[in-house]
Amino acid sequence: MMKTMSTIQEPIPLWRQLQATAAVIGAVRNGSSGTAAVEAVAAPLRPGVQALAFHVWRNLGRAQALRSRLVSRMPAPATDALLCVALALAWNEETAPYDAFTLVNQAVEALKRNFSTAPHANFVNACLRRFLRERVALVAATDRDPEALWNHPRWWVERLQREHPQHWQAILTLANSHPPMTLRVNVRHTSPADYLVQLHAAGIAARAGDAAVVYLEQAVPVTQLPGFAQGAVSVQDAAAQVAAPLLLQGLGPRPRVLDACAAPGGKTAHLLEAADAQVLAVEMDDKRMQRVGLTLERLGLKADLRTADAARPQDWWDGVPFDGILLDAPCTASGIVRRHPDVRWLRRETDIAQLAQLQQRLLDALWPLLRPGGRMVYCTCSVFLSEGAQQIQRFVARQSDAQWLPSPGHLLPGAAQNASKLGDNPDHDHDGFFYALLEKRGA
């Protein structure tokens, strides 16, 4: 039977995907998050564009260095974005998703199909053809550029060199790797060992990590995970799974816990899975708070959800002290760039000081809400010291009743703490985080 025209699925031409990818790259250059930029892409294009954009962000330093050697004057933003997309996708023959000549032809076609960039199509075509002819020499020349070599902004590379002199290369290398899909087993439903049996029965290769952590050998849609809809498991990086047990240790039964800056709700849920806690979750963004609610609903858990600014407790606190406070503070997200490779190009060095001020404001505002003997966990998904150890050093100097207890400190991404074990330490494959456990002195 002949298919009607309405049922035929036409393949999406590569030039359309390149156009949309360049728009996403341009949006991040203009200050939008990569997540928001990808979500704005038309649904049929979105999966392919996301894959291409991630590849581009992981190679954008090299692409920009190559572009600088191919042009004498910076092209217009939309043209430059497409030129850099093509270079990022084509420069490394071993990892390129398409052959170089196809990429060049389709990139030029993408320019021609856009009214604003069409006049520059011949110029970009000449640049890319020159790149193909001189690829080896151009790549070798850009090897001397740290942005090209590490595919991070120069300031980012230099900061890591200063702050982590033994591990900066491992951190940057891991940042361009593909992270594992990591699960948190809901121990109220099943044990990690039993869930591994379910995964293997479903044909999903996996291995156990520490505590409730399970690593998948390959990422799969959550709809394929046994029991996901029923709340048996959640997707959460291993480093993020440290927060709940670290806070709950020593708090006693049914603790009253505040989860400040709670979205998207993974740590809120983990607190409720791990203990019979009374949890108040605060998040200032209403849309993000809705995600917390949906997460808890899927898991069959309940918390008191308040859309409010955690730094203004006078707007939401009832005056009853908390036994425990989890402050997962806003930060640069420098520790999770392998999952969100846009972040390195979105952030500016000045953001670090601004975010450190916000973290300080949250710490000082929330500390009085803790009862004497209570505990606070401060954490950030950052590898920068000013958002971690230096922040807490300043805090305990200001707060005479704050005791900094033994805690993980800076968890460098993957196995970067021991660079000699980068390839054979998979059970500790996690994002970069900082953790400090603080106890309030008093009766």
The rounded distance, in Å, linking the Cα atoms of 300 and 289 is: 17
The rounded distance, in Å, linking the Cα atoms of 391 and 412 is: 17
The rounded distance, in Å, linking the Cα atoms of 279 and 271 is: 8
The rounded distance, in Å, linking the Cα atoms of 54 and 291 is: 24
Catalytic residue among 127, 331, 379, 381: 381
Q: What is the DSSP letter of 76?
A: P
Is 261 among the residues known to form the active site?
no
The rounded distance, in Å, linking the Cα atoms of 359 and 381 is: 12
Alpha helices in 113-242 (DSSP H): 121-142, 146-150, 154-163, 168-175, 192-201
Report residue 342: phi and psi, to 5°: -70, -25
Alpha helices in 143-191 (DSSP H): 146-150, 154-163, 168-175
The rounded distance, in Å, linking the Cα atoms of 240 and 245 is: 11
Q: In the numeric block, which tokens belong to residue 359?
A: 């973290």
Q: Residue 16: what residue type?
A: R
Q: Residue 94: what residue type?
A: E
The rounded distance, in Å, linking the Cα atoms of 184 and 74 is: 47
Q: Any idea which residues carry the catalytic annotation?
A: 381
